[in-house]
Amino acid sequence: MHVAPLFLSLQVLLWHAYTGAEEQALEAVVRHWNATPQGARAPVQAVAIPYSSFADKLQAAIPRGHGPDLFIAAHDLLGDWVRRGLVRPLDDLPAAAAALAGLLPQTVPPLRLEGRLYGLPLAWKGLLLFYRPDLVASPPQTTDELIELCRRFREGPTGPRRYGLVYEAGAYFYHAAWLHGFGGAIFPPGSSRPRLDTVEQQRALEFVQGLVQRGDIPEETSFALVSQLFNQGRAAVALSGPWFLGQIEPGVPYRVAPLPRVSATGRPAAGLTSIEAGFLNAHSMQPEQAVAFLAYLAGPEAARERALRGRQAVTAVATWDDPAVRADAVLMAQFAQRNELVPTDTRPAMRAFWEAGNKALRAVLRGAQSPEQALRQADQYLLTLLTPLPPSRPRGPFMAGLGLLALCGALLLVRRASRPQLAEIIRQRSAYLYLLPATLSMMMLVFVPFLVGAALSLYAQEESGQWRFVGLANFADILLLRHHPLTSPLSFYYTLAVTVLWTVLNVALHVVIGGSLALLLRDPLLRLRGVYRTLLIVPWAVPNYITALIWKGMFNRQLGAVNGILVWLGLEPVSWFSRFWTALSANVATNVWLGFPFMMVVALGHLAQIPQEVEEAARLDGAGRWGRLRHVVLPLLLPAMLPSVLLGAVWTFNMFNVVFLVSGGEPEGATEILVSEAYRWAFTRGHRYGYAAAYAVLIFLLLAVQTALIRRAASRGQQASLHLR
Q: Which residues contact 673 (CB under 8 A, 6 or more apart)?
A: 495, 498, 499, 502, 653, 655, 656, 659
Evaluate whether residue 690 is within a structural domain. Answer: yes
207 shares a domain with 70: no
Q: What is the mean pLDDT of residues 441-450?
A: 83
What single DSSP character describes residue 7?
A: G
Q: How confident is the model at residue 324 (pLDDT cuts 50, 70, 90)?
A: very high
Verify that 194 and 291 share a domain, yes or no.
no
Evaluate whether residue 394 is within a structural domain. no
Do 550 and 573 lie in a common domain?
yes
H helices present in 220-299, as ranges: 223-231, 287-298
- Domain boundary at 318, 342, 366, which? 342
- Would residue 446 count as lying in a domain? no
Q: Quick check: is 523 in a domain?
A: yes
User: Tell me: the pLDDT tens digits for 228-269?
Assistant: 999 999 999 999 998 898 889 999 999 999 999 999 999 999
Whether residue 105 is found in the same domain as residue 133: no
| The model's pTM | 0.83
Average pLDDT over residues 403-432: 71
Considering the chain, what is the average pLDDT of its residues?
A: 86
**Residues pairing with 119 in the sheet:** 279
Contacts of 265 (CB under 8 A, 6+ apart): 181, 182, 183
Q: At what angle do helices 580-609 and 492-522 cross, to 10 degrees?
A: 40
For residues 134 and 52, membership in a common domain is answered with no
CA nearest neighbour of 652 among 669, 674, 681: 674
pLDDT tier for residue 438 given thresholds of 50, 70 and 90: confident
Q: pLDDT tier at 385 (50, 70, 90 boundaries)?
A: confident
Q: State which amino acid sits at residue 675.
A: V
| Domains of the chain: total | 3
Q: Is residue 617 part of a domain?
A: yes
CATH number where 118 lies = 3.40.190.10
Backbone angles phi, psi at 514, to 5 degrees: -65, -45
422 contacts: CB under 8 Å, gap ≥ 6:
none
Q: Is 573 exposed, middle or buried (0-12, 13-18, 19+ CB in 10 A)?
A: middle
- Average pLDDT of the segment spanning 176-182: 95
Contact criterion met (CB below 8 Å) for 350 and 186: yes
CA end-to-end span of the chain:
72
Q: What is the pLDDT of residues 88-102, one digit of tens each?
A: 999 888 888 888 989
Q: What is the pLDDT of residues 413-423, one digit of tens each?
A: 666 665 566 66
**Structural domain boundaries, residue 637:** 505-724
Distances (CA, A) of 62 to 53, 113, 163, 283, 469: 14, 20, 48, 7, 24
Q: Are residues 212 and 174 in the same domain?
A: yes
3-state helix, strand, coil in the chain (%, to 5): 60, 10, 30
Rounded distance between C-alpha atoms, residue 651 and residue 180, angstroms: 44
Are residues 225 and 314 part of one domain? Answer: no
400 in a structural domain = no
* 106 belongs to a structural domain: yes
pLDDT digits over 572-586, tens only? 888 888 889 999 999
The least confident of 334-343, 635-644, 700-709 is: 635-644
Closest by CA to 550, choosing from 580, 509, 583, 594, is 594
> Is 397 domain-assigned?
no
Q: In this structure, are 530 and 670 located in the same domain?
A: yes
